[in-house]
Structure 1
Amino acid sequence: MPTRNDAYALMTSHVKNENLQKHMLSVEAAMRAYARKYGEDEELWAMTGLLHDCDYEEYPDLKEHTQVAARWLAADGYDERIIYAILAHNDINLEDHPRTDLLSKGLYACDEITGMITATALVRPTKSIEGLEVSSVRKKMKAKAFAAGVNREDLVKGAEELGVDLNEHIAFVIQAMTEVADTLGLAGTSDTKQEVSR
C-alpha cells in the first residue's frame, strides 16, 4: 500500500491549483479526525480525503471525475476501500457504488462542508478559522450567492447519511481544520493577528 507521501505526490502531480490542493488537505484533516472518533484506520481515511478529487483539475466532467482517479489508484496499488469511497462520493456513480459503508459516508459528509467552512473563514477580518462559530457558517449557508459552488443540499444530506447532527458536524470539521490551519492558509495574517491581540 502506498504511503501518505506517495498519495500527496500523486495528488500534487495532477493538481496544480493551490485552492483545490487545500480543499483536499482540508478533507484529509476532517477524515483523519472522524477516523479517530470512530476507531477506524486513520491513514486509510486520511488518504481517502487527500485523494478524493485528484483527477478533478484534469477531468472535471462528472462522467470522468473519480473514474479516472480510480484507474490511477488501482494501478498504484491503493486499497480498494479508498477507491470505492472516492467513486461513491460522486453521485453519478451511486448505482454501482452506493454509500453503504462508513468510509464512503464520511468522505461525502466532509467534502462540501470543508468548502463552506473555508469560504466563511476567508471573509472574516482575520481570515482565520480559529474561533469560527457554527452560527457563522450556518448564516452563510443561507446566503445563496455566497460560495455558490458549494451545494447546500449535499451539506445537509452528507450529515444525514453519516448520522450526525449538522451543527455538531460543522463544529467537528472546524476543529479538525483548525489543527492544520497553517497548512490550509487559514491561520490568519500576522497583521490581523497583531490587531486581534491588541
Structure 2
Amino acid sequence: MPELPTVRIDIVSDIMCPWCIIGYKKLEHAMSKMREAAEFEIIWQPFELNPDMPFEGEHLGEHLRDKYGSTKEQSIKSRQQIIETGKALGFEFRFNDNSRIFNSFLAHQLLHWAKSYNKQTALKLALFDLYFTQQQNPSELLLLLDVAEKVGLDRNAAKEILETQRYAQAVRDDQFFWAENDVRAVPAFIFNKQYLLSGAQEPQTLQDVIETIIKEQTQ
C-alpha cells in the first residue's frame, strides 16, 4: 500500500477566541473525510488577542463594549450564536453573565513546550474546555498544571517551565513571525506553508484546500 501524503496545517489561534475552537471543529470534520487520502500534522501557533490583559482578567461583556463598542444586546446575541454553533459541532460553551476574559501568555508557553511531546492538540483542546466549558482562568498556574498532567505531560517539568518562563521569548518570536506573514486575525490556517485561510471556514472549503494539496503532492 503506497504511503499517504502528509498535509501540514499550522493553526494560529488563541484559547480566548471562541471562533478558534469552532474553526478547529470544522477542520476536524474536513479531515475526517480525507483520512484515507492523507495524514495530517497539526501544529498550533500562538496569537494573543489581548497581550496586556491582567492576570485577573476582565468582565467579558465590559471588555467587548470597551474594545469593540458592542452593546449588551449585541453581546448577548453574539454569545448565543456562538453557543448554538458550538453545540452543532459537539463543543459546549457555557457563557454566563459573569464570564471573564483572561491572559493566555502562560498557556501559549505550555503549548510551545507540549509540541516536543506530540501533546499540543490534546493540550489545546483541554485548554479550550477549561476556559469555555468550565469557565476557569487559564492563566492560573495550578489549573495549567492540572491540565498538563491530565493530557499526559510531566507536572513538575511543566511547573518549572512556567515558573521560569523558559519559552516566553520563543512564543513572542513565533507571534512576531506570523504577524510578519500577514496573520492579523484568528483562527488562521496555513496549509503546507503555502495556503492561508483566515476565519472559521466551512468544512467543505477546508476539504477543497486539502484535496488541492494532495493532488499537488501526488502528481
Structure with the greater relative contact order (CA < 8 A, sep ≥ 6): 1 or 2?
2
Q: TM-score, normalised by structure 1?
A: 0.28
More strand by share: 2
Larger Cα Rg: Structure 1 or Structure 2?
2
More helix by share: 1
